[in-house]
């Protein structure tokens, strides 16, 4: 026969630890509840930078870049069970979000991972409360738009000195 300790919850949050019963005629036993605080698991995400893109290529053909998610997962949870959406957004050198799907100007852009946890689907599963992303756990990538090569060649011409120029 072994004593059984009761824990009132397994999700992130504060729960109670109920001690097992102990009977002995030599002791005056009193009981007190313990407190168990289960912290949210911190997940991390890193945007994987693509190779350089040459100006003129449509950004929609080059992105999205991949995002790698890591962290400690509870044994029953899998990333696809917990994550509703994994995407990226581009930010220019001034910190403005880049929208649209056309060609971008040459330069370097920041690729930020965007992670959305699945909402609570029932009272037994609470992914939003068990997992969190901290800003420090999000690693940005970069994408560089290289200048496209352009060759300008003037056609050879001639004229007599002092003659009016041709249009």
Q: What is the pLDDT of residue 34?
A: 94
Q: Which residues pair with 97 in a beta bridge?
A: 91
**What would the mean pLDDT of 94-122 be, rounded to a whole number?**
79
pTM of full prediction above 0.75: no
% of the chain beyond a pLDDT of 90: 8
- List, in order, residues 6 or more apart from 39 with CB less than 8 Å away: 12
Q: What is the pLDDT of residue 56?
A: 72
Strands across the sheet with 97-98, in order? 53-54, 141-146, 107-117, 83-91, 97-98
Residue 62 has pLDDT above 80, yes or no: no
Backbone angles phi, psi at 82, to 5 degrees: -100, -35
% of the chain beyond a pLDDT of 70: 79
């Amino acid at each position: 026969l072994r004593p059984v300790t009761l824990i009132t919850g397994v999700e992130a949050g504060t729960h109670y630890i109920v001690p097992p019963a102990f009977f002995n005629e030599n002791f005056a036993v009193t009981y007190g509840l313990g407190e168990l605080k289960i912290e949210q698991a911190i997940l991390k995400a890193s945007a994987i930078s693509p190779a350089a893109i040459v100006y003129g290529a449509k950004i929609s053909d080059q992105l999205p870049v991949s995002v790698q998610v890591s962290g400690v997962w509870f044994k029953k949870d899998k990333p696809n069970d917990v994550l509703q959406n994994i995407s990226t957004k581009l930010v220019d050198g001034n910190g403005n979000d880049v929208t649209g799907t056309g060609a971008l100007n040459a330069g370097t852009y920041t690729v930020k991972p965007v992670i959305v946890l699945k909402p609570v689907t029932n009272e037994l599963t609470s992914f939003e409360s068990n997992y969190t992303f901290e800003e420090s756990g999000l690693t940005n990538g970069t994408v560089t738009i290289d200048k496209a090569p352009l060759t300008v060649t003037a056609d050879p011409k001639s004229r007599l000195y002092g003659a009016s120029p041709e249009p």
